[in-house]
Amino acid sequence: MSDAVLPAVSAAILPGATLGVMGGGQLGRMFVHAAQTMGYGTVVLDPDDSSPAGLVSHGHLQTAYLDEAGLAELARRCDAITTEFENVPAPALRTLALQRPVAPAADAVAICQDRAAEKAQFVRCGVPCAPHALIESAAQLAGVSATLLPGILKTARLGYDGKGQRRVADAAALAAAWHELGQVPCLLEQMLPLALELSVIVARNAQGETVTLPVQQNLHRDGILAVTQVPAPDVPAPLQQQAIAAACRVAEAMAYVGVLCVEFFVLADGSLVANEMAPRPHNSGHYSIDACDVCQFQLQVRTLTGLPLQTPRLHSPTVMLNLLGDLWFRDGDAAREPAWGQLLALPGMHLHLYGKTSARRGRKMGHLTITAADAAQARAAALQAAALLGIAAH
């Protein structure tokens, strides 16, 4: 039985109820904080005994995502359930949906878990994306069109933050990369001339109400988000509206309920192509906690519980810096805490650390949101903060 055929929740699930979240990472932690602030109880299901969300939740079920007893207990204790990362097994969400409202639905999450299905969804919605080809066999590898090279080879599943990706210049490099990735199903995307990156975060409820956060302009390094700026300084208003309309079309076509992020590339000629989507709050929307009157995690709570949606209002121009574990190793191999005291002496600093037990290079440890009266001041303060931390802000 698919959760897609279940009726929509007829009445709002009000504060005082308990909300479940599959996954215990930082996104789950921030969801838990938002839900608790709004008066809900929370239960996290995650196999890690020290998961960031589990440490702050009212309850933590330490079990595997497909464990039948764990799923049954989560359904028993919760009035509605969401997920905090896209690689939670879709069958687990289908099982839960037989007993409780689940948002986003397993069918939508399954699309986002597979790059080929994701690209097909963009095409169905009339949203442009990079020319691409699916490679699942040696025959498909041999038949790849030369027009797709140079390109980027990506594993069809379980890739994020630049993992499972290889740049390939020619057919020989493509073959070598596919073997290096274990000959698993992959998607080859033509490399396009990029001008910049942006993202749109959509919140949609079961009644079809849809709101979006302001468009975010993003900078990635090594496949990991480094900097987000809002308002997007280099994205003209018509292009922002085009991106918002495209993201909303994608959400509507999936009958999506929850928070969805769609990432786009702006090409050198000014055109827009979709890159990928995530069925959850997104790193690029973390600034909304400090710079908007309704943040992405409050929207996640509202969409899950059937509460009315409100269009978020940006009350402060902002820059967000991602804080990776590399900051703890600036002075060598021994981990040292960054200079938080000096950082927080600067105006407009909002530090968010995720409660992870140890720092590792490349690991997301937190983020810093800088707010100011105008975009120029926010940018100047971000440059000061980045210099103090020893990271690049552009």
For the chain, the C-alpha Rg in angstroms (whole number) is 21
Q: Please, are residues 113 and 86 in contact by the beta-carbon 8 Å criterion? A: yes
Residue 272 has pLDDT above 70, yes or no: yes
Q: How confident is the model at residue 333 (pLDDT cuts 50, 70, 90)?
A: confident
What's residue 162's pLDDT?
59
Residue 373 has pLDDT above 50, yes or no: yes
Structural domain boundaries in the chain: 3-112, 131-190, 194-389
Q: Please, are residues 290 and 351 in contact by the beta-carbon 8 Å criterion? A: no
Range of weakest confidence among 101-105, 221-225, 264-268, 296-300: 221-225
- Fold of the 131-190 domain: Dna Ligase; domain 1 (3.30.1490)
What's residue 393's pLDDT?
62
Q: How confident is the model at residue 158 (pLDDT cuts 50, 70, 90)?
A: confident
Tell me whether the CATH fold assigned to 3-112 matches the one assigned to 131-190: no
Q: With left for phi above 0 and alpha for psi between -120 and 50, is residue 355 left, alpha or beta?
A: left
Whole-model pTM: value is 0.93
What's residue 10's pLDDT?
55
CATH number of 194-389: 3.30.470.20
Beta strand extents in 55-170 (DSSP E only): 59-61, 80-83, 132-135, 151-155, 165-168
Percent share of the chain, pLDDT over 70: 96
Cross-strand pairs, 60: 44
Q: 291-320 pLDDT, tens per residue? A: 999 999 999 999 999 999 999 999 999 999
What is the rounded CA–CA span in Å between residue 84 and residue 44?
A: 10
Kindly list the distances between the CA atom of residue 67 and the CA atoms of 47, 62, 63, 95, 266, in Å, as whole numbers in the listed order: 10, 10, 7, 11, 42
DSSP assignment letter at 308: P
Mean pLDDT of 374-385: 97
Q: Please, are residues 284 and 199 in contact by the beta-carbon 8 Å criterion? A: yes
Q: How confident is the model at residue 121 (pLDDT cuts 50, 70, 90)?
A: very high
- 183 C-beta neighbours (distance < 10 Å), count: 13
User: Which of the pair, 176 or 1, is modelled with greater confidence?
Assistant: 176
Q: 159-173 pLDDT, tens per residue? A: 665 577 899 999 999
CA torsion, ordered 62, 68, 74, 75, to nearest 10 deg: 180
Q: Residue 104: is the preceding peptide bond cis (ω within 30°)?
A: yes
Q: 15-72 pLDDT, tens per residue? A: 999 999 999 999 999 999 999 999 999 999 999 999 999 999 999 999 999 999 999 9
Please tell me the class of the 3-112 domain: alpha beta
Q: Please, are residues 55 and 44 in contact by the beta-carbon 8 Å criterion? A: no
3-state secondary structure of 342: helix
3-state secondary structure of 274: strand
Kindly list the distances between the CA atom of residue 90 and the CA atoms of 52, 124, 201, 317, in Å, as whole numbers in the listed order: 22, 22, 22, 37
CA torsion, ordered 274, 277, 282, 285, to nearest 10 deg: 30
Q: With left for phi above 0 and alpha for psi between -120 and 50, is residue 152 left, alpha or beta?
A: beta
